[in-house]
Structure 1
Amino acid sequence: MTWLKWGLAGLVGLGVLWAALSVYGGWRWQQRTAGLVSDLAAARSPLRVSRYDPAVLVDLPPPVQRFFKAALTPGQPLVTGVSLAHDGTFNMGEASDNWKVFASQQEVETSRPGFVWNGTIRMAPGVPVRVHDAYVAGEGVLLPAILGLFKLTEMRGRGAIAQGEAMRWLAEAAWYPTALLPGQGVTWSPIDDRSALATLTDGDVTISLTFRFGADDLIAGVRAEARGRTVVGAVVPTPWEGRWSDYQRQGGMLVPMTGEVAWVLPEGEKPYWRGRVTALSYRFAD
């Protein structure tokens, strides 16, 4: 039975080592997250105006005007930043679906546009993959790591990765809708009575998304004809869509509490994120 005792001792030792790596990885990850959030705050710039005036809507496409009138309260302060928490499921599969539970925290700045998403995906009991997805000072960041220590990939910089992350910031502006107002860095072009094109320029990054508005005049979905999708370490331009629902009043604004995003592949849609907001806190202009 000596072999059995040694085997059990080895398993216990591996368990202790794994637990220690998990704790250390969590600590290291917190340091990385704090650094990104600090860089995000350092890039902040002041807003030109502090309150919403419906008079600024006069030259916007009709569906965009209706959206602001439905979502905002006249005279309310503009959003400067947001802290959010989410939970939901993330599809880790390529050839077939493989949905895993995630939880995340996110910090957003509206001027200069940027965000830091800090997520934890439970791949298996005791095996978390920690993920940074961010747009900070004109650079995109994508870093998933097992336990926060063992990197699965790492992408950071300008070009396609920055454009893709800027698209995410713009798509998620339904959570901070005053950032879509005239004079806040986004311009609008008409498409039809239920959709319009939003264009954001931030430094050398310029991106556009089609916004679709529902019968309630709120943002029902967004679409990019070519957003960077990571496939085997390469970034491949791919159509992408997001959908928002369950609007509730928060901070004087109507914002969505649930959403889904998907890649639009030749064989059909491939959803990969389904989540809901579990906590939401705004910072407003004085």
Structure 2
Amino acid sequence: MITTVIIIGILLLILIIGRYNLSMQFRKEVKDLFAVSTSISGNNFSYAQLTGLPEPVQRYFKLVLKDGQPYISYIRLLHNGQFKTGLDKDWVSIKGEQYFTTEKPGFIWKGTTRMFTARDSYIAGKGRLVVSLFSLYNIVDGRGETFDQGELLRWLAEGVWFPTNLLPGEKLHWTAINENTARLTFNYNGLSLFYIVTFNDTGEITQLETKRYMDKEKLETWIGKVNDYKEINGVLIPTAIEAVWRLEKGDFSYAKFRVTSITYDHPGMFS
């Protein structure tokens, strides 16, 4: 009996130490993320910037931003939701904490479930995915060109939460497709990325579709569905997002997140 108690105590101690070390590492990565980007809040959005843009894109920005809105430089976000570790797996509850920069494209996300902690990131031009079982042992540590592409695509799509990031500029361009669809192109760090963006009649973005690596070899259709728009901090943003792989055998949803908190231009962690 005493031996069992001792073993349980040691295992709990190892788990606590593992979670502490993971928390410290995440804190350092967030600090590194904010350190490499600068503020662009001195720039202000103007309706004059919309001249020449496709009609649904103009409709979107007039809806979600106010004339004179400062550009958003730093974002921190909390969410809850459900997640699948595989297309054939069951849904599990997840809580997420995420930080973004815009002047220098970057983000880091930590998603926590009962069994594992996942960290997605794009920092200093490099993408990475790490999954730790019980916050102790890395069962996934993905990096390389396919992760650079995938994580930068994630950062770009999640710009719907800080829409000044989707305004046209040197690296970002919009081209018309039809009255409710436009193509978003983004060129950065040797990568040329795109989304086919769908808008409703009100002007809300409802879907973003692209090609993304599902594994190291093959590009598949990836779709982000967004809805339930609310005005937060003076900006109209979707508070629900669903991630879907569209494969030959059908559509497979693997993430359903709902934003619970978002703040702008506070380059520091949640307390």
TM-score range, shorter chain: over 0.9
In the other structure, the counterpart of 2:110 is 118
In the other structure, the counterpart of 1:227 is 212
Q: What's the secondary structure of 1:26's corresponding residue?
A: helix
Measured in 1, the distance between the counterparts of 2:55 and 2:4 equals 65
Q: Within 5 A, what are the aligned runs for 1:64-213? A: 64-94=57-87, 96-122=88-114, 128-157=115-144, 159-183=145-169, 185-213=171-199
Alignment partner of 1:57 out of 24, 33, 50: 50
- 1:25 CA drift (Å): 1.1
Moved over 6 A (4+): none
The alignment-based identity, stated in percent, is 31
Q: What's the secondary structure of 2:110's corresponding residue?
A: strand
Q: Say if 1:22 and 1:103 are closer, same or farther in 2 by CA, change over 3 A.
A: same
Measured in 2, the distance between the counterparts of 1:167 and 1:186 equals 13
Gapped regions of structure 1 (runs ≥ 5): 1-7, 123-127
Alignment partner of 1:257 out of 218, 231, 239: 239
1:266 aligns with 2:266: no
Q: What's the secondary structure of 1:153's corresponding residue?
A: strand
Q: Give 1 or 2: higher strand fraction.
A: 1
User: When the two structures are aligned, how many residues end up with a matched partner?
Assistant: 267
Look up the equivalent residue of 2:98 and give its one-letter code.
Q
TM-score of the two chains, using structure 1 as the length reference? 0.88
Whose radius of gyration is greater, 1 or 2? Answer: 1
Q: Does the 8 Å contact 2:41/2:73 carry over to 1?
A: no
TM-score of the two chains, using structure 2 as the length reference? 0.93
Q: Does the 8 Å contact 2:184/2:195 carry over to 1?
A: yes
Gapped regions of structure 2 (runs ≥ 5): 267-271
In the other structure, the counterpart of 1:3 is none
Measured in 1, the distance between the counterparts of 2:183 and 2:11 equals 49
Q: What's the secondary structure of 2:31's corresponding residue?
A: helix
Q: Does the 8 Å contact 1:21/1:147 carry over to 2?
A: no
Q: Say if 1:258 and 1:203 are closer, same or farther in 2 by CA, change over 3 A.
A: same
- 1:14 CA drift (Å): 3.5
- 1:43 CA drift (Å): 2.0
Alignment partner of 1:216 out of 175, 190, 202: 202
Q: What's the secondary structure of 1:41's corresponding residue?
A: helix
